Amino acid sequence: MAADEPLVLGIETSCDETGVGIVRGTTLLADAVASSVDTHARFGGVVPEIASRAHLEAMVPTIERALKEAGVSARDLDGIAVTSGPGLAGALLVGVSAAKAYAYALGKPLYGVNHLASHICVDQLEHGPLPEPTMALLVSGGHSSLLLAPDITSDVRPLGATIDDAAGEAFDKIARVLNLGFPGGPVIDRLAKEGDPTSIAFPRGLTGPRDAPYDFSFSGLKTSVARWIEARRAAGEEVPVRDVAASFQEAVVDVLTRKAVRACKDEGVDHLMIGGGVAANSRLRALAEERCERAGVRLRVPRPGLCTDNGAMVAALGAEMVARNRRPSDLELSADSSLPVTEPHVPGAHQQHTHDHVHEISKDNLYS
Ligand code: KG4
Ligand code: ZN
């Protein structure tokens, strides 16, 4: 770890995790996460108002915990990065407001960054600099996309995405039908290990010859699984939960890995990065490994703790922004719940965000 590499603090509040990470270049120094997931569990999904309030309460203690864990002072930071979108508007706003306040008070440059690009960039903390271009399969509760990233700080191109449910959403919905609680991914992953993935032939969405090669669809699969379960229940038969979990999971990861490897081949990219909460899935990791090896593609998947939402991923992308001299954001930065994936960060209108410049900005901008 070189002392001249940028020291950046990253804040993530796009959903239900208040994440604060600190990195120096591509080295992870701290990864503090406070999750409100348990508070949402009884509602069967994330309740935006509850998430926002939880972020507000956790923000300052989580920042302090991260600074302590990293053993650095806020004064030494070279920048503050924050997820400005996409995500839940009210939740994002808490992180963006906090980042602006710290940037203003400390006189540090501010970088509003894209949540999806951060999910890709986090792998640098585990496997070193990302090859360029990188092919990325991003699968989470809110997104399922195939992205080609020639430069993670400035050029991210969407090749395909889900046309209905995200992969994680499908896991969460099927878990609800099976009364397994929320979030559904981890418990389905666990039960599937004891089930037979070939026992029920569930449909593979959008895999016909005339279908878009890189788009995904999981709503037909979800309906098919729900109907299968209902038919068993209506007939008074027991539902083989482990077999259903394994067969459903196999249908999802089969399509994800097949399309991702095909994209690598079509685009001539010899490695694949998988990120987002669903990348924690053990069967997805195993099947991707198997298919990549067969296709001569190198696979990079961060450890599960870095796949789910966290602040380290935001800090990782922020550090890359500093290292590549990308223009910081203004203090006018706002949360953008639908920030396009093609915008890895939100550069300000001003040329350089120096200490003097920060003090010229009226305090009102902090609340815009
Ligand atoms: O990236 P993430 O933490 O938050 C979003 O940005 O959405 O992803 C959360 C999603 C949830 O839908 C959860 O069920 C899923 O990731 N997930 C999993 C696993 N762990 C988390 N899905 C499948 N298998 C897992 N082991
Ligand atoms: Zn995410």
What's the token pair of residue 142?
Answer: 């809110």
> Is the Cβ–Cβ distance between 242 and 195 less than 8 Å?
yes
The domain 131-302 is classified under which CATH number: 3.40.190.150, 3.40.50.300, 3.30.420.40, 3.40.1390.30? Answer: 3.30.420.40
- Per-residue model confidence (pLDDT) at position 38: 79
Give the ranges where 42-192 is alpha helix by DSSP (H). 48-70, 89-106, 115-121, 124-127, 167-177, 184-192
Nearest Cα residue to atom 14 of ligand 1: 185
What's the token pair of residue 186?
Answer: 């981890």
> Which of 32-46, 69-83, 264-278, 333-347 comes out lowest in average pLDDT?
32-46
Nearest Cα residue to atom 10 of ligand 1: 141
Per domain, the residue ranges of the chain are: 7-122+310-363, 131-302
* 140 C-alpha to ligand 2 centroid (Å): 6
What's the token pair of residue 124?
Answer: 């640098």
pLDDT tens profile 141-153: 888 999 999 999 9
What does pLDDT average to over the chain?
93
Q: Best substitution site from 15, 191, 278 to test ligand 1's pocket, by max atoms within 8 Å of Cβ?
A: 278
DSSP β-ladder status, 110-114 and 79-85: parallel
Name residues whose C-beta falls within 8 Å of residue 4's C-beta, 6 or more positions apart in sequence: none
What's the token pair of residue 176?
Answer: 């609800």
H or E segment to which residue 7 belongs: strand 7-12
Nearest Cα residue to atom 2 of ligand 1: 277
Please say whether the structural domain 7-122+310-363 has been given the CATH code 3.40.50.300: no
Q: What is the rounded distance in angstroms from the CA atom of residue 157 to the CA atom of residue 214?
A: 13
* 179 C-alpha to ligand 2 centroid (Å): 24
- Per-residue model confidence (pLDDT) at position 46: 81
Nearest Cα residue to atom 3 of ligand 1: 308
- Per-residue model confidence (pLDDT) at position 235: 97
- Per-residue model confidence (pLDDT) at position 354: 47
The helix/strand/coil state of 208 is coil
pLDDT tens profile 81-135: 999 999 999 999 999 999 999 999 999 999 999 999 999 999 999 999 999 999 9
How many C-beta neighbours within 10 Å does residue 346 have?
23
User: Do 7-122+310-363 and 131-302 come out as alike in CATH topology?
Assistant: yes
pLDDT tens profile 208-265: 999 999 999 999 999 999 999 999 999 999 999 999 999 999 999 999 999 999 999 9
Q: What is the mean pLDDT of residues 177-195?
A: 95
Statement: residue 4 has pLDDT above 50: yes
Q: Which ligand has its closest atom nearest to the C-alpha of 139?
A: 1
Statement: residue 79 has pLDDT above 50: yes
pTM of the model: 0.90
Q: What is the rounded distance in angstroms from the CA atom of residue 218 to the CA atom of residue 283?
A: 17
The helix/strand/coil state of 43 is coil
